[in-house]
Amino acid sequence: MNSGIASSGETHRRGARAGQPVRSTCPYCGVGCGIQVRTAAAGPEIAGDPSHPANQGRLCVKGAALGQTLVPEGRLLTPRVDGEDVPWPTAIAAVADRLRQARAQHGPGSVAFYLSGQLLTEDYYVANKLAKGFLGTPHVDTNSRLCMSSAVAAHKRAFGEDVVPGCYEDVELADLVVLAGSNAAWAHPVLFQRMQGSARTGRKVVLIDPRRTATADLADLHLPLRPGTDTCLFNGLLVWLADHGALDTDYLANHCSGLDDALACARADAPSLAAVARTCDLPEDDLRRFYTWFARTPRTVTAFSQGINQSVAGTDKGNAIINVHLATGRVGRPGAGPLSLTGQPNAMGGREVGGLANTLAAHLDYDTPGARDAVARFWGSPGLADGPGLKAVDLFEAVQRGDIQVLWIAGTNPAVSLPDSDRVRDALRRCPTVIVSDCVANTDTSALADIQLPAAAWGEKDGTVTNSERCLSRQRGFLPLPGEARPDWWMFQAVAQALGHGAAFRFADSAAVFREHAALTGVAAQLGRALDLSALADLSGADYQRLSPIRWPVRRNPSGVAGTDRLFGDGHFATPDGRARLVPVRVRDALPEPAVAAAGETVLTVNTGRYRDQWHTMTRTGLAPSLLAHRGQPMIDMHPEDARRTGLTDGALAVLRRPDARPGGRNPSEAAQVVAPVRITTAQRPGEVFVPIHWSRRFSGSALASELMTRLTDPVSGQPDSKRGLARVAPLATDWQARLLRHREAGPWQAGQWPANNGVLAYHCRQPLAHSDSWWLAGRGTPDWAELAGELLGGTPQLVLSDTAAGRFRAVRMAGPSVVAVLLVEPPAGLLPETAWLDGCLGGEALADEQRRWLLAGAAPDGPDPGPVVCSCHQVGRNEILAAMDEGCDTVQSLGARLRCGTQCGSCLPELRALLAGEAETAG
Ligand code: SF4
């Protein structure tokens, strides 16, 4: 191993000095909040960074709980090749050998990389350079494809480049904020707080979303449109603007082209307000109000997110939004513009280096005149990839066909997150070599890996990220690397060196990678790209360490360098002629309406999304029990009418099956279905259900929302249609339900250990708690609980209570006076106590006689059950809040004064206000 590799590892092993604050960035959503970390004796203390422009000191509940996730549990600490732990040189040699062989036997296109918006820009840069520049494969795509690639394509069609013109300050300056397909309150909480904090008389907020989400708390008008009709809504707006003299004709004449075609298309979709109202299933009055507000408000921001992007027509929807901004000249001006909100912390950074298969590097496309030669020269590439590669869904199709021999997956979990994930797992099984570099040892994807490489985790990594407002920030390591973990860029470089490309891969540290990336953007800028970091290309190591957040493009000025808050405000765009394009778009639908249901069946449209306190597939947030207290298991949100039609009650288990799923599915253990409890709520539209995206097979037997999604993608962006699946809905027949809690010291238990002769375990969901691991269980048949209890509890229970006639069973395993494990069984409709109290019984304290009696009764002894947690920071339950309201608390402030709820990060304020407004069932 050469000295460059060794020195990098040593650099990262040092960690931060105790007591010294380190400025870094939150690793979750695209808001990209700055944090400050103090490494104290009790562990890292995390707070918002008041100097960071994105959050100005705020953090949401996920960011605030980051310290809880910095645990060694579940880390991958050693490279593994074919199931054996090996030293790094062996692992690097194995990766290099397999890449070399695949290229030699099947050509460069037989190797592929699938990257992640969790990677740092430096990681992405080295991976992209290795793949496209030196292995010659164009197949480099990223999970950002699932998140915002439609916004990328829309930006490129309209502006000539993937540029977000504005910045977060615009949502504060705007007099009208339109949130389209965005549950910002949960998905971009700190930006939502900035919108809340800037509320003033006359400022209006319009929410466009089929669901009444927590974001509706801020909305003056909610338009719960029929899914898939956003294009018609914005086409209708374009027509309205034209017909009411609200177009900016000077701006259009001087800076845009394409109005006539776009307007003709819009008129075809939206000939009248009544037609739009019919298509979108909205009241005409509400539409008129929205259109009127938009027409008369120059300072308008339209923030759009996954509800727009994750569609077969996501690019068209994005362009429909951009069209109305161009038509009114509202782009790149203070308080005005379209604002794409990315889901991941570094989706933008990945885009900047060329992490998407259809791009080359530094915002250059393969067909940008002069780009291929310029990049090949810059890299000294022996054989640059010669055209766009396969986008995520197509890439995994190619893997399944056998076209890809080696697939390197870095920092992501496609076995859970890609649509039709059952098929993705099948593809991974067929692939001759799957390499997974990840900080987590066991994911649904790594279970199918041939080679596992231990990656540095957040807190250990050093590099840069770019948030949704083009703001580049440093992520700084403050913890030493554990075991053999290494930064991702280091692994890609080590493989490049092993393949004989050491001359081009001599990065001593992440600063060196950044300098090269910044220099390449200078080449791109000469070819007309707006992305330009070349002013940072000569940063010293110390400068890089000190680098403050800055929005690109970065320019030199007499006092150093300066960022750029807004782009295109002068009406000059990144197209060859400098004019923006209005793009003609029409409504396109992907799926048949629910009427496809056969007699006796109910088929509903499935929407997917996020929970407030979880992130992606929970590999990190699932480590924080306080975050799981908000929603301990996934729930299927359903309108009361649909619940009645299907015979489901609140909390009952339902099963959703894809209409095209064969009985038993492709693999009997992997039928395309989701099983979860139902949450009945009028926040859902009738005919539609909502399923969260977070639960993987590590947590639940059947809760992969991606199983319900088809592989349909947007024809322009390749982004999957993750917001519109279809599912047959039916109650899940069960004979019993149970709660199992095992103290961590009782060792692991897995649902796969359920004995075959004890009926069917039809549902299981794991919820880690503060003291224990717990499971929600339900099944069919009549298990012999007395026999089963010993297996489930990890030993013979000391306390047992059985009431066969009532279908109740209790068993408690003790170690001296302390509880080690508890099993509570009830009939399907019976009540089981809340988990917080149960978990408290496993806290190590000696159990009093009275507590034993309550435990066997399966009920908390004193006071009302706190109910599901609403405020995660202070662990305040819904029932406690309702009780305080009964006692006179009638404002958020009085609830905060009584219970402390809502007084820390503020993420729960929309739910508190919904409870105060009597909307206990408001969706998330
Ligand atoms: Fe992290 Fe929350 Fe900020 Fe997003 S809003 S970056 S999750 S602290």
pLDDT of residue 446: 95
| Its pTM surpasses 0.75 | yes
Task: Of 296-300, 321-325, 675-679, 770-774, give the lowest mean pLDDT range.
Answer: 770-774
pLDDT category of residue 666 using cuts at 50, 70 and 90: very low
CATH code of the domain containing 101: 3.40.50.740
Specify whether the CB–CB gap between 280 and 156 falls below 8 A: no
pLDDT of residue 746: 83
905 C-beta closer than 6 A to ligand 1: no
Strand partners, 208: 180, 223
254 exposed, middle or buried (CB, 10 Å; 0-12, 13-18, 19+)?
Answer: exposed
pLDDT of residue 18: 52
- Structural domains in the chain (count): 6
* Beta strands at 653-657 and 725-731: parallel, antiparallel or unpaired: antiparallel
Q: How many residues does the chain have?
A: 924
Structure tokens at 32: 């990209």
pLDDT of residue 920: 53
What pLDDT digit, counting tens, does each position of 28-82 carry? 999 999 999 998 888 889 999 999 999 999 999 999 999 988 888 889 999 999 9
Over the chain, what is the mean pLDDT? Answer: 91
Structure tokens at 423: 């098929």
What pLDDT digit, counting tens, does each position of 382-427 carry? 999 999 999 999 999 999 999 999 999 999 999 988 988 888 999 9
Whether residue 553 is preceded by a cis peptide bond, meaning omega within 30 degrees of 0, is yes
What pLDDT digit, counting tens, does each position of 693-705 carry? 999 888 988 888 8
Residue nearest to atom 4 of ligand 1 (CA): 29
Give how far the C-alpha of residue 592 lies from the chain's centroid of Cα atoms, to the nearest Å. 27
pLDDT of residue 160: 97
Whether 396 is in a domain gets the answer yes
26 C-beta closer than 6 A to ligand 1: yes
Q: Do 277 and 301 reside in the same domain of the chain?
A: yes
Burial of 67-102, coded b for 16+ CB within 10 Å and e otherwise, reads: bbbbeeeebbebbbbeeeebebeebbbbbbebbbbb
- In the predicted model, is pLDDT for residue 531 greater than 70? yes
35 C-beta closer than 6 A to ligand 1: no
- In the predicted model, is pLDDT for residue 753 greater than 90? no
What pLDDT digit, counting tens, does each position of 253-307 carry? 999 999 999 999 999 989 999 999 999 999 999 999 999 999 999 999 999 999 9
DSSP 422: H
Specify whether the CB–CB gap between 585 and 316 falls below 8 A: yes
CATH code of the domain containing 882: 1.10.10.1100
How far, in Å, are 79, 307, 453, 455, 513 from residue 483 at the CA level? Answer: 10, 40, 12, 10, 24
Q: How far apart are CA 196 and CA 199, in angstroms?
A: 5
Give how far the C-alpha of residue 57 lies from the chain's centroid of Cα atoms, to the nearest Å. 23
Q: Do 238 and 177 reside in the same domain of the chain?
A: yes
Task: Of 12-21, 334-343, 475-484, 535-544, give the lowest mean pLDDT range.
Answer: 12-21
- In the predicted model, is pLDDT for residue 150 greater than 60? yes
pLDDT of residue 697: 83
pLDDT category of residue 919 using cuts at 50, 70 and 90: low
pLDDT category of residue 15 using cuts at 50, 70 and 90: very low
pLDDT of residue 803: 93
The angle subtended at Cα 903 by Cα 900 and Cα 908, nearest 5°, is 95
What pLDDT digit, counting tens, does each position of 430-451 carry? 999 999 999 999 999 999 999 9
Q: Tell me the best of 37, 52, 62 to mutate to test the pocket of ligand 1, counting ligand atoms within 8 Å of each CB and taking the most.
A: 62
What pLDDT digit, counting tens, does each position of 227-246 carry? 999 999 999 999 999 999 99
pLDDT of residue 393: 95
Q: Do 661 and 764 reside in the same domain of the chain?
A: no
DSSP assignment string, 111-157: EEEEE-TTS-HHHHHHHHIIIIIII----EEEGGGGTTHHHHHHHHH
Among candidate residues 644, 709, 705, the one with its CA nearest the CA of residue 675: 705
Give how far the C-alpha of residue 699 lies from the chain's centroid of Cα atoms, to the nearest Å. 17
Residue 628 or 96, more confident: 96
Whether 492 is in a domain gets the answer yes
Whether 542 is in a domain gets the answer no
Q: How far apart are CA 607 and CA 690, in angstroms?
A: 5
How far, in Å, are 111, 149, 192, 356, 446 from residue 391 at the CA level? Answer: 14, 10, 31, 8, 21
Q: How far apart are CA 581 and CA 252, in angstroms?
A: 10
Among candidate residues 290, 294, 298, 304, the one with its CA nearest the CA of residue 339: 304
Backbone angles phi, psi at 253, to 5 degrees: -70, -40
pLDDT of residue 505: 98
Domain's final residue, options 706, 731, 756: 731
What pLDDT digit, counting tens, does each position of 183-227 carry? 999 999 999 999 999 999 999 999 999 999 999 999 999 999 999
pLDDT of residue 4: 31
CATH code of the domain containing 210: 3.40.228.10
33 C-beta closer than 6 A to ligand 1: yes
Among candidate residues 645, 840, 627, 803, the one with its CA nearest the CA of residue 729: 645
Q: Do 611 and 491 reside in the same domain of the chain?
A: no
Handedness of CA 809, 813, 817, 819 (dihedral sign): negative
Q: Do 294 and 162 reside in the same domain of the chain?
A: yes
List, in order, residues 6 or more apart from 356 with CB less than 8 Å away: 140, 141, 142, 144, 145, 149, 152, 350, 391
Q: Tell me the best of 188, 873, 905 to mutate to test the pocket of ligand 1, counting ligand atoms within 8 Å of each CB and taking the most.
A: 188
Whether 684 is in a domain gets the answer yes
**Within 13 A of 722's CA, how many CA atoms are on the CB side?**
32
Whether 755 is in a domain gets the answer yes
Q: Do 228 and 256 reside in the same domain of the chain?
A: yes
DSSP assignment string, 606-639: EEEE--TT--TTSTTGGG-HHHHTT-SS--EEE-
What pLDDT digit, counting tens, does each position of 107-139 carry? 999 999 999 988 999 999 999 999 999 999 999
Q: Do 250 and 128 reside in the same domain of the chain?
A: no
Structure tokens at 430: 């067929």
Q: How far apart are CA 199 and CA 208, in angstroms?
A: 19
Q: What is the mean pLDDT of residues 790-805?
A: 93
CATH code of the domain containing 53: 2.20.25.90
* Beta strands at 300-304 and 176-180: parallel, antiparallel or unpaired: parallel
Q: Report which ligand 1 atom has the smallest distance to the Cα of 64.
A: 8
Q: What is the largest CA-CA distance in the chain?
A: 85
Q: Report which ligand 1 atom has the smallest distance to the Cα of 191.
A: 5
31 C-beta closer than 6 A to ligand 1: yes
Q: How far apart are CA 428 and CA 450, in angstroms?
A: 10
Share of the chain above pLDDT 70, in %: 94
Domain's final residue, options 340, 369, 390: 340
Handedness of CA 688, 694, 699, 701 (dihedral sign): positive
**Within 13 A of 190's CA, how many CA atoms are on the CB side?**
31
- In the predicted model, is pLDDT for residue 667 greater than 50? no
Query: Using only C-alpha atoms, what is the Rg of the chain?
Result: 27
Whether 316 is in a domain gets the answer yes
CA of 614 to the centre of ligand 1 (A): 11
60 C-beta closer than 6 A to ligand 1: yes
Q: Do 803 and 837 reside in the same domain of the chain?
A: yes
286 exposed, middle or buried (CB, 10 Å; 0-12, 13-18, 19+)?
Answer: middle
27 C-beta closer than 6 A to ligand 1: no
Domain's final residue, options 680, 696, 731: 731
pLDDT of residue 5: 34
Q: Do 289 and 364 reside in the same domain of the chain?
A: no
Specify whether the CB–CB gap between 157 and 583 falls below 8 A: yes
Q: Report which ligand 1 atom has the smallest distance to the Cα of 190.
A: 5
CA of 50 to the centre of ligand 1 (A): 14
Q: Do 84 and 178 reside in the same domain of the chain?
A: no
CA of 34 to the centre of ligand 1 (A): 9
Specify whether the CB–CB gap between 314 and 343 falls below 8 A: no
pLDDT of residue 853: 82
Q: Report which ligand 1 atom has the smallest distance to the Cα of 35.
A: 8
- In the predicted model, is pLDDT for residue 663 greater than 60? no
193 C-beta closer than 6 A to ligand 1: no
What pLDDT digit, counting tens, does each position of 551-577 carry? 999 999 998 999 999 999 999 999 999
Structure tokens at 734: 């069960």
| Structural domain harbouring 39 | 3-69
Q: How far apart are CA 333 and CA 165, in angstroms?
A: 8
CA of 57 to the centre of ligand 1 (A): 11
Backbone angles phi, psi at 555, to 5 degrees: -115, 150
pLDDT of residue 569: 96
- In the predicted model, is pLDDT for residue 615 greater than 50? yes
Backbone angles phi, psi at 699, to 5 degrees: -115, -30
pLDDT of residue 698: 84
Q: Do 647 and 748 reside in the same domain of the chain?
A: no
Among candidate residues 359, 400, 339, the one with its CA nearest the CA of residue 151: 339
pLDDT category of residue 17 using cuts at 50, 70 and 90: low
N-to-C CA span, the chain: 51
* Beta strands at 560-562 and 580-581: parallel, antiparallel or unpaired: unpaired
Q: Do 303 and 202 reside in the same domain of the chain?
A: yes
Among candidate residues 16, 921, 805, the one with its CA nearest the CA of residue 460: 16
Q: Tell me the best of 25, 31, 49, 466 to mutate to test the pocket of ligand 1, counting ligand atoms within 8 Å of each CB and taking the most.
A: 31
Whether 334 is in a domain gets the answer yes
Whether 524 is in a domain gets the answer no
